[in-house]
Structure 1
């Protein structure tokens, strides 16, 4: 027991106070994560729309996420990560109360788009903030701490949400909105006097003399990396889109049982991620860790076809959680290490856009495959995509990693940028 406690102490040691406070903000925020996990059930069971229409709503949520990620990255580089996060948290919380009263399909779709846009401006700003406050040697662990807080919140949110949904779906929106606003207020009170969250002001001469900043959209390897992240996310997001429908249709689980299963994911990641990152983060190449995580993710879904028993749902969720631990923290670190302070918002913005694109594709593709061929075909398809994606990650990260410290932007004639 002493060795275990020492291991946890070492894993959490050395992290800055702002990094801890940022994680506390995300814990408050994500403890109310109740609407998104139950959105497909809300649209079909409560509002009476078809499975196809539910897929459209979820894809529109993803479109808002794409726009929000791009906007969040752009705003972060211009007005700073503090303002972006505060507005996203408070305004996003208010929008949940508005969405609660939208029932007509067109208004619901518009409300979901705006809510997702505002919510996802938070992500690039939050990542830039963590990168700013973390010590360089603790970068991956700082991101893992933040993800740990998010997953602890996510283990609470769906579990409580399942019980609230059994009473009334209305309470899901109220709880989600209230926790967003509470997180925004706490964030403002602690970080308003912190230094470094505003972009550096430069004179016109300094701006004119400075070399052009490399754009992530001209970084070929990074674009391929972002595409692969999107493929990974398409598979992973079945957790939020089609998996609850599978639980309901194949196993006839109640909302509370579905919430408990999904909360298990957050609990496992909360308990294990920091330890695993601490033990293997500096010993095994990121290309191997991420590729292994993607392969395990594919296996977690294919298992659902191989064994038909309630217990396999828990085994599958365990594997999915391990896959998340091995892949996601190191993907985030690559996005930060590939950038510089002057273009970090854009680089992280493109990384989050890759996930947002998956928000569009995952529900539409998943529900379309289910409607045409059933859940069995969907789970085999995710396994095949995971295999291809894992191979792609292993190759492209092998190209990125050796050059991450020596890569410098080269100013071509006329001021255009090419990758070094």
Structure 2
């Protein structure tokens, strides 16, 4: 871990605090149907529009950073997002259709800009470890956050969830401004001709394995997100209640906290696409466990396999996109990955819900098949790509691809 810069460790501290107070993601639907008095359908519509804002923010945050500096964009989006969250309880209900997506958009920009900032700060060969550190901090905070949010909502009011989230987001902006140097990791290196050369399509055509990976991530994210939508409904239909579901989902955070960093260190010199493809196959295998029946053993095994798959593919794919990006478009490549990695938030519930409502027996076999197919496709692309695995940063001696902004 000595190759991970100090700035990344400090940034992870801010990510942890921000994740602890990110309550709104978990409780927004309950807030809309409870204190705000919206019907289920209208609350679903507002939440869905907010999800579109989140996806849009992920797709654009890195691009803004390439132009204006990743640190600068991260600070601006955190400040705006925190301010919007603080004001959200005071906003009239009709304006939630605009304000909630704005808050989610800012959150998406922060996520993409944060990934791009790490990518340009850390040299190739240490990025898997660096992204694993950030993910561990985020997952650790998110493990603590929901129970704390429940205490705030029931002990005080749901309005305090937004106040806490807003203050945490503003803290993240101040913390980032303090621990990340203003110069040296601000934006991706400029294109040789000022950015008017080869466009994104040409860059991607020159990297067919990246296109394969992005397509596979779209598929796997729709599959992966079923654990938060159709899976609890499936459990309830088989007599397993919400409390048990919460404990099963908690396994995910525990496995990630225990194994993500050791896995990143152990596999750091293995070909990225092989690690990613294996992870996607494990996600599919996790849903395949549900074909054996519904019980404690199968559901726990399902969640463990999903968690192991997530450990393998998410960190490695983020680092792979940074390694494959041209120097002038690190943020753009990170935005592409960040955007496709959350499309399941918008597409997963309606697609999975529609299939479960019409043919419930087909959902888990299809999830297993899609996960296996996505993984096999990435593994095949990896075999056809003869790019050598990145050497550790201390062996390459290459600096981060960043310039002042």
Q: 2:292 aligns with which of 306, 312, 330?
A: 306
Q: CA deviation at 1:19?
A: 1.4
* 1:220-369 matched pairs, under 5 angstroms: 220=205, 221=208, 222-246=210-234, 250-254=239-243, 259-282=246-269, 284-310=270-296, 312-369=298-355
Tell me the alpha carbon deviations over residues 134-180 of structure 1, each in whole angstroms, 9 at most, x when there is no partner.
23221111111111111111211223334445555444333322222
Q: Report if the CA contact (8 A) 1:290-1:331 is conserved.
A: yes
In structure 2, the gaps of 5 or more residues are 391-405
Q: Report if the CA contact (8 A) 1:159-1:262 is conserved.
A: no
Q: Give the aligned CA root-mean-square deviation in angstroms.
A: 3.1
Q: Report if the CA contact (8 A) 1:161-1:259 is conserved.
A: no
Aligned to 1:149: 137
Q: 1:115 aligns with which of 80, 103, 108?
A: 103
Q: What secondary structure does 1:308 align onto?
A: coil
Q: Report if the CA contact (8 A) 1:157-1:263 is conserved.
A: no
Q: 2:378 aligns with which of 378, 393, 406?
A: 393
Q: Report if the CA contact (8 A) 1:158-1:259 is conserved.
A: no
In structure 1, the gaps of 5 or more residues are 1-11, 406-420
Is 1:174 the counterpart of 2:163? The answer is yes
Aligned to 1:134: 122
Q: 1:36 aligns with which of 4, 21, 25?
A: 25
Q: Report if the CA contact (8 A) 1:158-1:263 is conserved.
A: no
- Note closer, same or farther for the CA distance 1:54–1:163 as it changes in structure 2 (3 Å cut): same
Aligned to 2:48: 59
Is 1:125 the counterpart of 2:110? The answer is no
Q: What secondary structure does 2:242 align onto?
A: coil
Q: What secondary structure does 2:74 align onto?
A: helix
Q: In structure 2, what is the Cα distance between the partners aligned to 1:45 and 1:306?
A: 38
Tell me the alpha carbon deviations over residues 314-356 of structure 1, each in whole angstroms, 9 at most, x when there is no partner.
3332222111101111111221111122111111111112123
Q: How many residues align?
A: 385
Q: CA deviation at 1:247?
A: 5.4
- Note closer, same or farther for the CA distance 1:352–1:201 as it changes in structure 2 (3 Å cut): closer
- Note closer, same or farther for the CA distance 1:126–1:170 as it changes in structure 2 (3 Å cut): same
Q: In structure 1, what is the Cα distance between the partners aligned to 2:203 and 2:14?
A: 34
